[in-house]
Amino acid sequence: MNIRNSLIALLFSCISLTAFSQKGLDAPMTKAVMNVYKQLLSEDPTDYETYYRRACEYYKHNQYALALDDINNALKYVPENESVMRIDFLTLRANIYQQQDNLEEALNDLNNAYAINPESYLVIYQKANIEFQLGKYSEAKIDYQRMQRINNRSQESFIGLARVAVKENNLGLANDYLNQAVAIAPSNSDIYVRRASVRLLMNNPNGAVDDLILAISTDNTNTRALQELVKLGDTHYSAVMNGLSNAISQAPKVGMFYYIRAVIAEVHYNYLAAITDYEKILNENLYNYYGIYNSLAKCQFALGKYSQAIDNVDTALSGSTNKEYYVTKSKIKRATNDATIAVDFANKAIAKDPNYNEAIINKAYALIDLNQYDEATALLGEASLNDANNALLFLTRAWILENCMNKKSTAQVFYNRALDVETTGIKSLRGFALYRLGKVADANSWMQEMLSKVSESDGYEYYIATCFYAQTGDHQKALSYMKQSLESGYASYYDWTDFNIGIVNVSPIRDLPQFKELLNQYSIIFEK
C-alpha cells in the first residue's frame, strides 16, 4: 500500500502543478490518475482504498453512477474493524445519494456512520441537514442539539436550530438562535441574510434591511444579500432606501452603498436620485467600475437628456466593449433619430452575444424607423425564440404586420400568440391582444381586474394602463391613470414623450392639452 500511496501522491502533486489548466475526466493528468487506479485494481480487485479514491474522483466530476459503483465495492471489501475508513466511505456514499435525490438512502448511510462514531460532528451535521430536507424536524432538532454538545460554539447548529424553529412557527426563537450565531461568527455574511429572512417573517422590514446591509458590509461579494435587498425594495422601498441612507451616513466613503442605493432607485424609476448617487461615486472616485457610466447614461436617457447620456456611454465604452454599453448607445441614437447608427451599435452587441435579446429588439426598432419591416419582424421572431413568454414581442410583430405591411390576417396570428403567453398580471399585456382581436369587452374586463390588484406605488403598472386606454380611445381614463403613474414616480420621460413603436405606448394622447399639463405638473420628477 505504501508504494501505491506514494505513486498516487506523486500524481496528485503533478496535478496541482498544472493548476488544473484542463478539467474533466479527459484532462491528461486526470486520465493518468484513473489509469493508475485501473492498474491497481487489476492487480488487486479487493483494494478498497483505491475504489474509494476513484469514487472520490468520479464524484468530483459529477459521475455519480460510477462513483456509486466504486464506493459500493469499497464498502464490500473494507474490514469491519476499519471504523474510520468505513465512516468516510459511508459519508461519501451518502453524498452521492444526495446528489441523486435519494435522501432516504443517504440518511440510512449516515445513521450507520453515526452508530460507528456517535461523536462525529460532521456526520451528525450532514445527518441533521438531510433530516431537515426530509421534513423530519424533530429528528433534525435533536441532531443540531447534539452538535452543540460536541461544540457549544457551533454556528452551524444555531443556524440549523433556527431553521427548525421557523418550521415550527417559532420566529422569536429562530431570531434568538441566529443572534447567537452572529455572536459566534460575526464575519459570516450568510447568517445576516438568514436572520433578515426571519425578521421579514416577523414583519420587521427595517431589521431585515439592516441585516442585508450588514451582510454586504461584511462581504461585498455576497450576491444573495444584494439580490434580496433589491427584491425587498419592491415591497419595502422606503425601508430599504432609509437603511442604505443610514449606512451611508455611518460610512460616507463606501461607494458600494451609494451604488446599491442608485441601482434600487433606478429600478424604481427614480432616475434623479440614481443620477445623484452615480455622480457622487464618479466625482469622488468611490467605486471603480465603467458600468457606472453606463448606468448614468441609461438614467439620463430615460429622462430625455440625450447629449449627457451619449457622453457617459462613450466614457463607458472607452473602458470596456461591454455588450450592454453598445445597446445603451444604440437606444440613445435611435431616440435622436439616428436609426442607421443605432443599428450599427446593436450589431456590435449582437456580435458579442448573438442571443442578446435587448440588442436584437433595439435593432428591430431601429429597422422599423428605417422602414425595413421584413427584417424587423424576422428579428422579433428570433427574439421570441429566446424569450417565449414575452408578449410584447408578439404584439409588436403583429403591429408591424397590420399597420406597416397591411397583413392583417397574419397579424391576427401573433395577437393570438400573445394570448398564449404564460404570464400573469397587468404586465402580461393580455388586454392589448384582446382589444386588437376585437374582443373589446373582454379586454376592458381583464384590464379592470388587473388594475384592482395593482400596487399603489407601482407607477409602471399605471403607465401600462395609461397606454391601454390611450390605444383604446378612452382618453379620460388614460389621463386619469397617467396622473396616478406620475404620482407614483414613473419618471421615464422617454416613454412619456418619445417611444412610439407598437401599441404599448401613449402616442394617441400626446397632443392633448391635458397630457402636456400633467407632464408640466409633475416636471419635478424629470427635472424639467
Helix, strand counts (H, E) of the chain: 30, 0
Strands (E), 147-194: none
Contact 485, 459 (CB under 8 A): yes
The distance from CA 149 to its chain's CA centroid, rounded to whole angstroms, is: 39
Residue 394 DSSP SS3: helix
Report d(CA 333, CA 350) in Å as an integer: 16
The candidate with the shortest Cα–Cα distance to 193, out of 162, 214, 168, 221, is 214
Give residue for cell 401613449: 506
Q: Round the CA-based radius of gyration of the chain to a whole number and report it.
A: 30
Contact 139, 109 (CB under 8 A): no
Residue type, 168: E
Residue type, 522: Y
Report d(CA 327, CA 371) in Å as an integer: 20
Buried b (16+ CB within 10 A) or exposed e, 241-268: bebbeebbeeeeebbbbbbbbbbbbbeb
Report d(CA 258, CA 260) in Å as an integer: 6
Give just the sign of the alpha carbon dihedral 255, 256, 261, 267: positive
Report d(CA 423, CA 429) in Å as an integer: 9
Kindly list the distances between the CA atom of residue 301 and the CA atoms of 316, 318, 500, in Å, as whole numbers in the listed order: 14, 19, 16
Report d(CA 222, CA 193) in Å as an integer: 9
Kindly list the distances between the CA atom of residue 483 and the CA atoms of 56, 459, 465, 477, 489, in Å, as whole numbers in the listed order: 64, 10, 11, 10, 10
Q: How high is the pLDDT of residue 14?
A: 39
Q: How high is the pLDDT of residue 8?
A: 40
Report d(CA 264, CA 495) in Å as an integer: 20
Provide the 8-state DSSP code for 428.
G
Report d(CA 99, CA 374) in Å as an integer: 49
Buried b (16+ CB within 10 A) or exposed e, 345-366: bbebbbeeeeebbbbbbbbbbb
For residue 515, the surrounding DSSP H or E stretch is: helix 513-521
Domain boundaries, the chain: 1-117, 454-528
**1-117 CATH fold:** 1.25.40
Residue type, 41: L
Nine cell digits for residue 420: 398564449
pLDDT one digit per residue (tens) for the chain, 528 residues: 444 454 444 344 434 433 344 467 777 878 888 899 999 999 999 999 999 999 999 999 999 999 999 999 999 999 999 999 999 999 999 999 999 999 999 999 999 999 999 999 999 999 999 999 999 999 999 999 999 999 999 999 999 999 999 999 999 999 999 999 999 999 999 999 999 999 999 999 999 999 999 999 999 889 999 999 989 998 899 999 999 999 999 999 999 999 999 999 999 999 999 999 999 999 999 988 899 999 999 999 999 999 999 999 999 999 999 999 999 999 999 999 999 999 999 999 999 999 999 999 999 999 999 999 999 999 999 999 999 999 999 999 999 999 999 999 999 999 999 999 877 889 999 999 999 999 999 999 999 999 998 887 789 999 999 999 999 999 999 999 999 999 999 999 999 999 999 999 999 999 999 999 999 999 999 987
* Residue 520 φ/ψ, nearest 5 degrees: -70, -40
Query: Residue 474: how many CB atoms within 10 A of its CB?
Result: 14
Report d(CA 252, CA 260) in Å as an integer: 13
Report d(CA 317, CA 258) in Å as an integer: 22
Q: How high is the pLDDT of residue 23?
A: 62
Contact 184, 152 (CB under 8 A): no
